[in-house]
Amino acid sequence: MTTHENLPATTESAEAAAIEKAAAALPAHRPRRTDVDPKAARRAERQVAAMFLGSALMTVLFVVAFVAIPVDETVYIWGFGTVNASNIALGVTFGLAILLIGTGAIHWSKKLMNEKEEIQLRHPLASSDEEREAAVEAFQTYQADSGFTQRPIIRRSLLTAMVLFPIPMVVLLRDLGPLPGEVLRETLWEPGSRIVIDPTGRPVRPSDLALGGLISAMPADLPEVQEEEGNLNARAKAAIILVRMEPQEIVSQQGDNWDYGGILAFSKICTHVGCPIALYEQRTHHLLCPCHQSTFDLADSGNVVFGPAARRLPQLPITIDPEGFLVAVDGFAEPVGPSFWERGDA
Amino acid sequence: MSATVKTAGKTAGWVDDRFTSSNFLKRNIGKVFPEHWSFMLGEIALYSFIVVMLSGVYLTLFFKPSMIELAYNGSYVPLKGVKMTEAYASTLNISFDIRGGLLMRQIHHWSALFFVAAISVHLLRVFFTGAFRKPRELNWVIGVGLLTMALLAGFAGYSLPDDLLSGTGLRIAQGIVLSLPLVGTYLSFFIFGGEFPGTDFISRLYAVHILVVPGLILALLTAHLMMVWYQKHTQFPGLGRTNDNVVGYPLLPIYMAKAGGFFFVVFGVITLISGLVTINPIWLYGPYTPDQVTAGSQPDWYIGWLEGSLRMMPNVEWVIFGYTLSWNILVPAVILPGLVFTVMAIYPWIEQWATGDKREHHLLDRPRNAPVRTSLGAMAVSFYVLLWIGGGNDLIASFFDMSINTITWFLRFAIFLVPPLVFVATKRICLGLQRRDRDKLLHGMETGNILRLPHGEFIEVHAPISDEEKAVLMAKPERTPLTMPEEIDENGVAMPGARGARLRAKLSNFYYADNIPLPTREELEAAEAHLRHEVEQAAPAMEEDRRLIPAHDGSVLHDPAIDK
Ligand code: HEM
Ligand code: FES
């Protein structure tokens, strides 16, 4: 078959000749088994029909499985382990119901449909020069009719209006959120905040911490604040870890005597892009972030020893209160978590 | 006339009465599509996208994009009573309390993975065969847009259920937004409705995931397919196939049956996998909270390269005039992907400019025949793979019991050293293959038969290659580099624009200079005569060979020198 997309008669015969030529070059069409052997054709016909019927059967089985198998039933299947019975039954029946339609159609097309290759010509995509000129001319006429170029006042004022009119759409977005203000520099920690274990909320005595141990902790008022605010924002900044080492193992700290008897408190939020950190190696005092493996040396001011994080982990100065529980001496001296443009050096 | 044909005729008549559609219909149902296995990659992408949409619409019926905290009270026992957002709870619900819900979640996720994978491989096919050349540059750009949107859609979807992994991914994304100079902090506050994580984000992301991005994908996809239709599909060279025609099967019936059938195959395979292989078991991760994370947490595969670039980057950060510039985040997470996608999008014009080739191309290149393009592509792939390995450095470290630091340091160097090596190696391979093609044209195919001629000389018998293969080899385009322009004209005056032209000549030399030329007509004729002679010489001996070799007890009854 050929397509002549409204071409004049002369080119039409030239086209036919080109197609003729390409067709002569094509390798000879080799008949398939099913083209010459009626038995093979009938067999293929039966195979295709069997696939379509198989699909229908699977659809019926799907409905049966949907109704019959409880949603929480599990089965053990070799190679897959214990799996949800409903999911696997529905997936297999539905999957086969769909797949068999596809394989049937493809088998049909491959074995039985007329499969002669055909040739169509391409035409240069560019229009002729005359057509291009005519288009430009037409545009110029309409342009002149509108007076767009002849009336600069209208043109410029229109452009001004058009440039400005998207502004409301941007302004409308203003109330998406509050301005940052200073909140990224603040956490719940303040002088005297009691340190409690996360998630139990139990206050911590120094003796609760084994040498070389690490626990996650939070300020005592965090659950309350969280309830009140109805979000996890405070938690995302206030989470800390406590570690304990021999006091003489501490090489340096972010402030004088910010430890309490070898117990150190650090922000749990990575200074890279904010993942919580918790992989502690007590021998080296290294704390590793699981996200991009920034490593901080807790015995040495929480400085970065490896990885993409550029800032040390902020340290929280701690002591004990009269009842013997760990408390913060003060809030964090620097913002916790990832850097941000306005952060600067503080 | 059968009933089917009659009904079809009636329907067509009804439509034609209103839209004058018969001519259009006749032209288009007979449209010819060339065939090649690699042309199915785009199809897989299209079909998985349809499956993504079908399953996604189902999920919207049950998913609740809300960050309101509640205590879980569904049938998954280990999490009973645990505080979580409604988004996470409803995803648990889909997985455990709604019949077929888990299957649909799995279908949605698996088809999303198929979608991105198919787009990526499809893009590689288009690149390595030069299908992006004029007149298809714009469709290449649309393809790059589609890839970007697909990554975005996947990331947004992955972040919706608000499980521990998805929340961790979001936290990282928020950290990246914070790093943007000047606007980062404000942007983050606007996106999240205040501080991270807030309570607005999931419902905002939801609109992006189910409306904005799929809408854009749908629009781009439509434009993409319309262009393919209008400009007609490219084809590989072969007998009868030229730059001016299309050889293949007409839309109806063969192509329709195959393509339609293939849709069901893709859909069916995705569904089977979804029934059998669990993906993203969010119930095992628990609800998101910003102070917990699991070791070895991994994003979906298509985000791995960005994860890797974040991990590899050394920790450079500047503070200038009291403001922070986090190069350690900007370079790997903003600048690198920006560059990658920009270079990818404009590549057709880079090559066009460098080679001065402004013709229409409808015959695909065999990758070896465009060695520099192929090597650039291989180089880019190796770059991507290294980043991707970087994204899994912790898994590799624990699997091979190596130190993460060693792997990271190795990758920091490898990312600069390996791609150039890959470039050089690929180019040599391409040129080697070109040389072999030339040999084939000149000397025919090696048959592996060694023959001793009567006067004692040993020769290897060559057989002429098939007409089809010859047509393929001879279709290799002749490519000559641009000539170096004079810097000064005949009067000794510096030529304007000479520098640009010289750069261009150098680039075109870089692209084309090493190509192995096709044999000339004389060379071919001489070679053909030689081959004929050789075959004639060998014929009697070969004939004898054929007669003597078979021995019923399996032994070889022949002079070993003539044996294979
Ligand atoms: C455009 C391509 C799309 C991609 C690549 C994609 C990808 C994803 C992924 C990876 C998930 C996480 C699934 C999981 O829980 O394991 C997801 C969730 C979801 N998607 Fe899509 N999606 C796409 C389009 C859509 C569309 C068009 C809709 C609906 C109209 C939709 C509706 C949903 C819903 C409701 C969820 C959350 C429910 C759940 O996670 O179980 N998605 N998507
Ligand atoms: S978030 Fe900790 S290393 Fe990236």
How do residues B273-302 score in pLDDT, each as one tens digit? 999 999 999 999 999 999 998 776 788 999
Of B303, B331, B355, the one marking the end of a domain is B303
CA distance B280 to chain A (A): 14
Contact A339 B262 (CB under 8 A): no
Sign of CA dihedral A123, A128, A131, A132: positive
pLDDT at residue A202, rounded to an integer: 96
Tell me, yes or no, whether B181 lies in a domain: yes
**DSSP 8-state symbol, B301:** G
Contact A230 B102 (CB under 8 A): no
Question: A335 and A193 share a domain?
Answer: yes
Contact B471 A25 (CB under 8 A): yes
> Which numbered ligand comes closest to the C-alpha of B328?
2
| Full domain range(s) for residue A233 | 189-341
Quick one: closest CA in A to B227, which residue?
A: A125
Mean pLDDT in chain B?
Answer: 91
Question: Which of the four pLDDT bands, split at 50, 70 and 90, describes residue B513?
Answer: confident
Question: A117 and A196 share a domain?
Answer: no
Cα-Cα-Cα-Cα torsion B314, B340, B505, B365, nearest 10 degrees, comes to 130
Contact A340 B296 (CB under 8 A): no
The mean per-residue pLDDT over the stretch B74-95 comes to 96
Q: Whose CA is nearest to atom 42 of ligand 1?
A: B56
Crossing angle between the packed helical segments B371-391 and B498-512, to the nearest 10 degrees:
80
Query: How far is A46 from A50, CA to CA, in rounded Å?
Result: 6
How is B232-244 classified by DSSP, letter by letter? ---B--BTTB-TT
**DSSP 8-state symbol, B37:** G
In this predicted structure, the answer to whether residue A4 has a pLDDT above a threshold of 60 is no
In this predicted structure, the answer to whether residue A287 has a pLDDT above a threshold of 70 is yes
In this predicted structure, the answer to whether residue B531 has a pLDDT above a threshold of 50 is yes
Tell me, yes or no, whether A7 lies in a domain: no
Tell me, yes or no, whether A139 lies in a domain: no
Contact A122 B362 (CB under 8 A): yes
Number of separate domains in chain B: 2
Of A101, A121, A141, the one marking the end of a domain is A121
Nearest-atom index, ligand 2, CA of B172: 1
Cα of B236 vs centre of ligand 1, distance in Å, is 37
In this predicted structure, the answer to whether residue B564 has a pLDDT above a threshold of 60 is no
Tell me, yes or no, whether A64 lies in a domain: yes
Question: A98 and A194 share a domain?
Answer: no
Nearest-atom index, ligand 2, CA of A293: 3
- CATH code at B216? 1.20.810.10
pLDDT digits 0-9 by tens, B299-313: 899 999 999 999 999
SS in 3 state form for chain A? CCCCCCCCHHHHHHHHHHHHHHHHHCCCCCCCHHHHCHHHHHHHHHHHHHHHHHHHHHHHHHHHHHHHCCCCCEEEECCCEEEEHHHHHHHHHHHHHHHHHHHHHHHHHHHCCCCCCEEEECCCCCCCHHHHHHHHHHHHHHHHHHCCCCCHHHHHHHHHHHHHCCHHHHHHHHHHCCCCCCHHHCCCCCCCCEEEECCCCCECCHHHCCCCCEEEEEECCHHHHHHHHCCCHHHHHHCEEEEECCHHHCCECCCCCCCECCEEEEECECCCCCCECCEEECCCCEEECCCCCCEEECCECCEEEECCCCCCCCEECEEECCCCCEEECCCCCCCCCCCCHHHCCC
Considering only CA atoms, which of B189, B197, B192, B292 is closest in space to residue A230? B197
pLDDT at residue B443, rounded to an integer: 85
Phi/psi of residue B451, nearest 5 degrees: -130, 135
pLDDT at residue B563, rounded to an integer: 41
> Which residue would you say has higher pLDDT here, B82 or B557?
B82
Q: Beta strand pairing status for A315-316 and A263-267?
A: antiparallel
Q: Beta strand pairing status for B32-33 and A81-84?
A: unpaired
Contact B267 A102 (CB under 8 A): yes
CB A269 less than 6 A from any atom of ligand 2: no
CB–CB of A155/A149 below 8 Å? yes
Q: What is the CA radius of gyration of chain B?
A: 30
Chain A residue numbers touching B242 (CB-CB < 8 A): 22
The mean per-residue pLDDT over the stretch B145-153 comes to 98
Question: Which of the four pLDDT bands, split at 50, 70 and 90, describes residue B556?
Answer: very low
Question: Which of the four pLDDT bands, split at 50, 70 and 90, describes residue B382?
Answer: very high
Chain A contact for B236 (CB, 8 A cutoff): no
CB–CB of A278/A267 below 8 Å? no
The structure tokens listed for B282 are 């969010």
In this predicted structure, the answer to whether residue B555 has a pLDDT above a threshold of 60 is no
Q: Whose CA is nearest to atom 43 of ligand 1?
A: B157
Phi/psi of residue A137, nearest 5 degrees: -60, -45
Nearest-atom index, ligand 1, CA of B95: 41
Query: How far is B261 from B34, CA to CA, in rounded Å?
Result: 17
Chain A contact for B60 (CB, 8 A cutoff): no
CB–CB of A252/A297 below 8 Å? no
A241, A266, A286, A291: which to mutate for ligand 2, most atoms within 8 A of CB?
A: A291
Question: A286 and A210 share a domain?
Answer: yes
> Of chain B residues 72-111, which have a CB less than 8 A from chain A?
75, 96-100, 102-103, 106
Contact A180 B272 (CB under 8 A): no
Mean pLDDT in chain A?
Answer: 93
Nearest-atom index, ligand 1, CA of B150: 5
Tell me, yes or no, whether A161 lies in a domain: no
Question: Which of the four pLDDT bands, split at 50, 70 and 90, describes residue B1?
Answer: low
Q: Which residues line ligand 1 (CB under 6 A)?
A: B 52-53, 56-57, 59-60, 63, 91, 94, 105, 108-109, 112, 115, 150, 153-154, 157-158, 160-161, 209-210, 213-214, 217, 280, 282
Number of separate domains in chain A: 2
Contact B99 A115 (CB under 8 A): no
The mean per-residue pLDDT over the stretch B128-141 comes to 97
Contact A95 B319 (CB under 8 A): no
Question: A115 and A196 share a domain?
Answer: no
Question: A106 and A233 share a domain?
Answer: no
Question: Which of the four pLDDT bands, split at 50, 70 and 90, describes residue B452?
Answer: confident
In this predicted structure, the answer to whether residue B107 has a pLDDT above a threshold of 60 is yes
Tell me, yes or no, whether A165 lies in a domain: no
Tell me, yes or no, whether B14 lies in a domain: no
Tell me, yes or no, whether B358 lies in a domain: no
Of A121, A138, A171, the one marking the end of a domain is A121
pLDDT at residue B486, rounded to an integer: 75
CA B27 to chain centre: 32
CB A267 less than 6 A from any atom of ligand 2: no
Tell me, yes or no, whether A8 lies in a domain: no
Tell me, yes or no, whether A167 lies in a domain: no
A269, A273, A305: which to mutate for ligand 2, most atoms within 8 A of CB?
A: A273
> Of chain B residues 139-178, which have a CB less than 8 A from chain A?
168, 171-172, 174-176, 178
Question: A214 and A332 share a domain?
Answer: yes
pLDDT digits 0-9 by tens, A41-72: 999 999 999 999 999 999 999 999 999 999 98
pLDDT at residue B494, rounded to an integer: 73
The mean per-residue pLDDT over the stretch B419-442 comes to 96
Question: Which of the four pLDDT bands, split at 50, 70 and 90, describes residue B478?
Answer: confident
**pTM, 2 dp:** 0.92
Q: Helix, strand or coil for residue B553?
A: coil
Chain B residue numbers touching A180 (CB-CB < 8 A): 185-186, 188-189
CB A275 less than 6 A from any atom of ligand 2: yes
Chain A residue numbers touching B409 (CB-CB < 8 A): none
Chain B residue numbers touching A275 (CB-CB < 8 A): 168, 171-172, 293
pLDDT at residue B548, rounded to an integer: 54
Cα of B46 vs centre of ligand 2, distance in Å, is 36
pLDDT at residue B544, rounded to an integer: 62
Question: B444 and B297 share a domain?
Answer: no
Tell me, yes or no, whether A308 lies in a domain: yes
Contact A308 B393 (CB under 8 A): no
pLDDT at residue A274, rounded to an integer: 96
Contact A310 B135 (CB under 8 A): no
Amino acid at B505: A
- CATH code at A235? 2.102.10.10
Chain B residue numbers touching A310 (CB-CB < 8 A): 315-317, 326, 328
pLDDT at residue B542, rounded to an integer: 65
Question: A200 and A304 share a domain?
Answer: yes
Task: State the best of B192, B208, B291 to mutate against chain A, taking most chain A CBs within 10 Å.
Answer: B291
The mean per-residue pLDDT over the stretch A213-241 comes to 95
Question: Which of the four pLDDT bands, split at 50, 70 and 90, describes residue A1?
Answer: very low
The mean per-residue pLDDT over the stretch A198-204 comes to 94
Quick one: closest CA in A to B177, which residue?
A: A340
Contact B175 A235 (CB under 8 A): no
Of A73, A100, A121, the one marking the end of a domain is A121
Of B303, B320, B347, the one marking the end of a domain is B303
pLDDT digits 0-9 by tens, B114-125: 999 999 999 999
In this predicted structure, the answer to whether residue B490 has a pLDDT above a threshold of 90 is no
Of B247, B269, B303, the one marking the end of a domain is B303
In this predicted structure, the answer to whether residue B554 has a pLDDT above a threshold of 80 is no
The mean per-residue pLDDT over the stretch A135-146 comes to 92
Query: How far is B356 from B484, CA to CA, in rounded Å?
Result: 13
From B97, B186, B261, residue closest to A106, measured CB to CB: B261
Chain A residue numbers touching B232 (CB-CB < 8 A): 120, 122
Tell me, yes or no, whether B185 lies in a domain: yes
Contact B316 A310 (CB under 8 A): yes
Chain A contact for B358 (CB, 8 A cutoff): no
Cα of A289 vs centre of ligand 2, distance in Å, is 6
| Full domain range(s) for residue B78 | 34-303
Question: Which of the four pLDDT bands, split at 50, 70 and 90, describes residue A117?
Answer: confident
> Which numbered ligand comes closest to the C-alpha of B408?
2
pLDDT at residue B546, rounded to an integer: 58
Query: How far is A207 from B224, CA to CA, in rounded Å?
Result: 68
Tell me, yes or no, whether B396 lies in a domain: no
pLDDT digits 0-9 by tens, B168-211: 999 999 999 999 999 999 999 999 999 999 999 999 999 999 99
Q: B296-327 burial string, b = 16+ CB within 10 Å, else e?
A: ebebbebbbbbbbbbbbbebebeeeeeebbbb
A260-269, A315-324, B439-448, B466-475: segment of lowest average pLDDT: B439-448
Quick one: closest CA in A to B194, which residue?
A: A177
Task: State the best of B104, B195, B294 to mutate against chain A, taking most chain A CBs within 10 Å.
Answer: B195
CA distance A82 to chain B (A): 11
